[in-house]
A and B are shown apart, each in its own frame.
Chain A
Amino acid sequence: MRHFKNLVRPYLVWSFLIIVIPLFLIFMYAVTTNGNSLINIQFTLDNFKKFIEPVYITVFMKSIKLGAITVAICLILGYALAFIISKFKEKTQDILILFVTVPMWINMLLRTYAWMSLLSDNGVVNSLLGFLGIDPIKMMYTDFSVIVGLVCNFLPFMIIPIHTSLAKMDKSLIEASYDLGANPVQTFFKVIFKLSLPGVVNGVIMVFLLSISTFVIPKLLGGGQFVLIGNLIENQFISVGDWNFGSAVSLILAIIILVLISVMKKLDIDGMQKGA
């Protein structure tokens, strides 16, 4: 085993180059004033203070809200789908999971454009409604279209970890629950759901993370005026050119995500230990 350790070294170098250095640069940008000059670096916390301005706090709250709604919808849909899939024979399950991942093989941009043509004012959905004699509904450039986009793009990230934890669950525990008098509903809430919590936690973290940091989906489905944290960061780098503020927002987002993950993991561990 020992001499395999050396094989890890190139990977460590790579990780350093592609993860640590950019992170360090982001940190440096976030705590300094304008410009890229290395000669007269000036440290400051202004970039972080700027974030507390109402405009940005609003953007932040809206991101959190949309992220939470997306997580909630993905959790319900994803758990139901994962649960149904786990009822099939093992081979069928593999195929169904493959289907779940199909959308992930297609570029997110393309998928989002597809949703645009479905949801637009004279798109497929409104045409169908028209056939049924229902007036067209404005769906594009609303919270609705953004949430649809987020849910459809990120649902697989909820289904897969939940399915994994359901599939590897010891079936004799479910039988034990029946044996002790619990009906299928009681068994679901007292045993199956509790034991699938690690998968649920992973799914929730993944979907939340992806939802609040994406900028393509809100941009295309929400329109230009629809700004979430991801767009805010993107704008600072691409159009406004304030790399320092952009970096500060990125760092704030990263810290919030880290805190969230550790809280969720802790809940998960406590849940596993204390149970009911």
Chain B
Amino acid sequence: MNKLIELKNITKTFDDSQVLKGINLDINENEFLTLLGPSGCGKTTTLRIIAGFEEQDKGELLFNGIEISKVPPYKREFNTVFQKYALFPHLNVFDNVAFGLTIKKTDKNVIKQKVERMLKLVGLEGFGQRDVTLLSGGQQQRVAIARALVNEPKVLLLDEPLGALDAKLRKEMQAELKKIQIEVGITFIYVTHDQEEALSMSDTVVVMNNGEIQQIGTPTDIYNEPENRFVAEFIGESNIIDAIMLKDCLVQFDGFDFECVDKGFKENEEVEVVIRPEDIDIVKKGNAKLEGVVKSIVFKGVHYEILVETSERTYMIHTTDYFETGLEVGLSFGPEDIHVMYKD
């Protein structure tokens, strides 16, 4: 895969507070890359620097290997889908979508053809003459996507584009966006604070916190191999346990030694271990090292969420089987279910 955009040690300060503290990121051609992190962590600022609406204080921004920090936004081959759509209220749907092509003085017939094809792609065929201010949120969103994509950008930037939609529509649009990305075959840089959205749509997830990148990886990597406590906690529910790495592939916690698959830590290094709730099996007492009592069981729609209290802590387990509260049980997990992280 080709590197399309490179961010090198980008920093940005607003009124004395450092919002980006050295961002290093490579973005490939045709990649669906998501910036994920809590509100205020600097996602939008990163996106605005790529788009050209802000300039970094330090660091380089390369596009196809060429520094573009000083290139104004109207000369960059990127288009943006804004958080609140930012559709032109004085133009109808057709003219909104045609805006970029009109600026480029494209032939009228070509514009008509391209706009209509794009409206069809986003499911708004025949909406051309509508007043954009009278469309629903979901429809405005589609117009915003069409308006950006019709220019055939090299990169599409999307800032929480589904933030204003209700849950059901969000799900639909997630699937649709992914489909559109594959269909047009360009790079998407997507910003969201919703971990589920990030995991379900992306090729690459970039987890950010406090202006720093915490981890870059595929959704599976991020979920299964969180690099630190922040990532583990931010991406879904987890059991996070203080532990000691005795040696490669052997970790000690809750008074027992467990085999694991992680290597490269110092001997006897203090670490943290993540075990996902769905990776723990509840077994008969005596069949596992850890033992405890079922404290509560709550039905969550697909699975039960069970809390088991051991002598050291309370574990959360997700399972489709039912266990009586008060039952004494054993907790079992395999070496590959234990994820060892550096301690902050």
Contacts and interface: CB of A to CB of B under 8 A. Distances in A.
Interface of A: 170, 172-173, 175-183, 186-187, 190-191, 194-195, 271-273, 275-276
A198 B254 CA distance: 70
B72 interface: yes
Interface residues of B, number: 29
B305 interface: no
Contact of B74 (A182, A271, A275): A182
Contacts of A190: 99, 103
Nearest to A195: B90
A181 B80 contact: no
A172 B95 contact: no
B45 to A, nearest CB: 14
Nearest to A171: B86
A173 B73 CA distance: 14
Contact of B82 (A172, A182, A183): A172
B80 A179 contact: yes
Given A182-B103, A273-B131, A175 B74 contact: no
Interface string B51-79: 11100000000000000000011110011
Given A180-B79, A180-B151, A182-B103, A275 B72 contact: no
B300 interface: no
Contacts of A177: 88, 99
Contacts of A178: 52-53, 72-74
Ranked nearest first, the 8 interchain pairs of A and B with the lowest CB-CB distance are A180-B100, A172-B86, A275-B90, A176-B86, A178-B73, A275-B91, A178-B74, A179-B80
B79 A271 contact: no
Nearest to B100: A180
A1 to B, nearest CB: 27
A183 B90 contact: no
A178 B100 CA distance: 9
A160 B123 CA distance: 43
A172 B84 contact: yes
Given A181-B103, A181-B104, A272-B90, A176 B80 contact: yes
Given A271-B90, A273-B131, A180 B103 contact: yes
B321 to A, nearest CB: 51
B17 to A, nearest CB: 18
Contacts of A272: 89-90
A70 to B, nearest CB: 28
A194 B89 CA distance: 10
A195 B72 CA distance: 23
A180 B99 contact: yes
Given A176-B82, A178-B74, A179-B74, A194 B90 contact: yes
B102 interface: yes
